[in-house]
Structure 1
Amino acid sequence: MGSSGHETTPSPPKDLNRWPPKVISVLTGGEVDDDSTISVRYNGRCFCIHMSPHFLHNSPKATALYLRYLQAIQPEGPGEFEGIFEEDVYEWVIQLFFPIFMQLAPEPLPSFDPDKIRTGEAKPVLSEYLFPQTFGCRLEAIDETFIPRHIDNNGGLVPCRTWLSNSILDDLETWARFFDPSEIEIDFAKPEHSLDRMPTKVRVDLDGLGQKTICFFKAFGPGITGGPLNKELNVYKSILMSHLSEDVFVGRLVGIAHEHENDSTVGLLLRYIDQRGTLYDAVEDNPDPKLRKKWAAQIGKAVHELHKVGAVWGDAKPENILIDKDDNAWITDFEGGYTHGWVDPDKAGTVEGDLQGLQRINRFIFEGPRDSPSSSSEEVS
């Protein structure tokens, strides 16, 4: 690929084993510097590959090549630069570092071996996925030749942790149950996803009696609480403390995934909705009038019941409504924000905004997606 003996258009390694490496995150310096880190998951481990012009010595062509590739992987960019696509860059990096992957992670970890999961021999837990063994790597160049290096066994991977304030934690402990990630068993619908996808379906012993319940795991990103998280927790608290009846179809919190060792919170455990898609998708399938009326009634009731207990939905739109296998419509996503075309900016986060969104959703349910703003809408936090 380009100079230094690598082809301009990369091809993946010949031997990717049965489960190929997967890029899971990309960090760049943006306007600050030309550094970048590509994190790759392979056989249950994570490889954090650090790249920078500072690592490229006496290599102006290699440096120019890297800077072109950097433009293609900018998170805020279009995913392409001068005919180079971000996927091309990922394949190039994987090709360079694949010998190191094979050396340090020749086989899948037992608990994340798809074959062992499929037979029930392995039962991975959430802590193993969120905090994997991580290796630090660096891409260097000397005299126009790229040199992949394994640097350390730390890597600098930023895990999905959030440190909540003591006041929030103290309040949570009065109404929510905490579960350590090591207690949360992952339920992969497709075992091969165990090596590269963030798990969302988990099993938790909610009552401590040994019976595990399927839950939806909503992971937090790295950082500190604020804004949407507080709004979301307040809505779930209102739902729980008001004892909304089971015929009010709204998402419900059943626990907090909290790592006791570091006193950090990694995500929410929500009631699992066995869903077949969003309302937007369901309406596109042209359902019969009886089903449309059912959904409109359920959604309207859910919104009004939320308002009765002092809560606001916020980002009202069809994509935040799930249709379950029994054709019930569930309101989800209480993070706040709004989406252009469904709620006006000056009404965001208010009862009035919810009612406006509800009116537009009802029109969408009965008239279809032809005039719907969803195809071009933009979500605003």
Structure 2
Amino acid sequence: MEFDKNRDPLESAKVIEVLTRGELDDDATVSVRFNGRRFNIQLSPNFFQNSPETTTLYLKYLQAIHPIGPGEFEGIRDTDVCKWIIDLFKNLFVQLAPEPLPSFDPEKIRSGEAKPLLSEYLFPETFGCRLEAVNEMSIPRHVDSCGGLMTPRTYLDDDLLDAMEDWTCFVDPSEIEVDFQNPEDALDQIPRRVRVDLDGSGHMTTCFFKGFETGVGDCPMSEEIKAYGKIHNANFGPDVRVGRLYGVAHDESSDTTLGLLLAYIDHRTTLVYAVKDDTPLAMKQKWARQIEDTLNELHRVGVIWGDAKAGNVIIDNENNVVITDFEGGYTNGWVDAEKAGTVEGDLQGLQNIMAFLFQHNPDDT
């Protein structure tokens, strides 16, 4: 499929993040990716002069796009708000970023002319903008060329970093190739499939990139790394159906960790969507056995699954399960809050997974 250089800008502009300062604050920053650049757009009633209608509308929109909200408010969907923001700023987007950068250009990626790197997606050219209003007239404004937000990264404890050097590798994001299966995804997707030279041999290994949120010290990602360290040291065979950590994306210049490089799993779906009314009983029994046996092995080496639920069970292309996500936490309906992070909580989650498998209702999620 040929890439249309004359496409509507709205087709590739995408809201990738919404940040607020809390439930009692009316300010927000909406980040939009367009043609390989990031636009951090500040929104606040303080920027609206003599514009009560605009202020009222904005406050409703804020409820709809709030990151911890339900994605809707008084019939207004978060997608409606995203479209409103993009429509207001689209001329500014085109002015500041008229063409895709080579590493974001689907045709250049498809032909091999461009070989995008993870660093280009994590540290893009960024513009700071804000929405102003005067007498009910909306005014999109470009205010700076830095954007004011930091790329999500985690500052891990020195002891953990030292321990990791014994069993995994650190790779700078400028040395990690992005591997989009569909080059059109380069315009509006965050890379997940990447290729890495893990041992300096020149052989590129396909990995799944799991990016970090901003954190310091003993954060959820620290717990996930520790879990993968125990999994590595256990030297499990292939019958233990669990993901493997191959390395971490680490920015040496700031000594910060940007994400995990996990074994890439060619997968079909998660257990949530794999189980159907006509799924053969033998297949359900196979999945149940693999999940239970794997969880027993994890507990044997001191690994807690934590967020044990059907959504964290991948079904690969060979119809085998893979247990994923060891950063902790829990999901209501699968594990009780007071049992989260314990073997008891894992076993409760396992029991609920078995119930989901064998008492499946098509409406269950």
CA shift for structure 1 position 247? 2.2
Deviations 1:264-321 (A, max 9, x none): 1000011111110112222226332332232222222211111221222222222211
The whole-number CA distance in structure 1 between the counterparts of 2:108 and 2:193 is 18
Aligned to 1:217: 209
Kindly indicate whether residue 55 of structure 2 is the aligned counterpart of residue 86 of structure 1: no
Deviations 1:330-367 (A, max 9, x none): 111112222333333343222233233333333433x2
Unaligned runs of 5+ in 2: 1-5
The whole-number CA distance in structure 2 between the counterparts of 1:143 and 1:362 is 60
C-alpha spacing 1:16/1:323, structure 2 compared with 1 (3 Å): same
The whole-number CA distance in structure 1 between the counterparts of 2:274 and 2:7 is 41
Aligned to 2:336: 344
Aligned to 2:161: 169
Equivalent position to 2:224, from 218, 232, 240: 232
Deviations 1:12-69 (A, max 9, x none): xx96248431111112333443222111110000111112222222333333333333
Aligned to 2:3: none
Aligned to 1:34: 26
Report matched runs for 1:127-142 at 5 Å. 127-142=119-134
Aligned to 1:370: 361
Aligned to 1:319: 311
Is the Cα–Cα contact under 8 Å of residues 30 and 74 in structure 1 kept in the other structure? Answer: no
Q: Which stretch of the first structure deviates more once superposed, 118-127 or 63-72?
A: 63-72
Q: So what's the TM-score if we normalise by structure 2?
A: 0.91
Q: Which stretch of the first structure deviates more once superposed, 80-89 or 124-133?
A: 80-89
Runs of 4+ in 1 over 4 A off after TM superposition: none
C-alpha spacing 1:223/1:314, structure 2 compared with 1 (3 Å): closer
The whole-number CA distance in structure 1 between the counterparts of 2:333 and 2:50 is 53
Q: So what's the TM-score if we normalise by structure 1?
A: 0.88
Equivalent position to 2:286, from 288, 291, 294: 294
Share of identical aligned residues, percent? Answer: 57
Unaligned runs of 5+ in 1: 1-13, 376-381
Deviations 1:223-251 (A, max 9, x none): 32434223212211111112111221111
Matching residue's letter, 1:111: S
Is the Cα–Cα contact under 8 Å of residues 9 and 94 in structure 2 kept in the other structure? Answer: no
Aligned to 2:114: 122
CA shift for structure 1 position 88? 2.6
Q: Which stretch of the first structure deviates more once superposed, 354-363 or 93-102?
A: 354-363
Matching residue's letter, 1:224: V
The whole-number CA distance in structure 2 between the counterparts of 1:65 and 1:292 is 50
Deviations 1:126-172 (A, max 9, x none): 11001110001121223332211111100113312111122221222
C-alpha spacing 1:280/1:77, structure 2 compared with 1 (3 Å): closer
Aligned to 1:379: none
Give the total of aligned pairs. Answer: 360
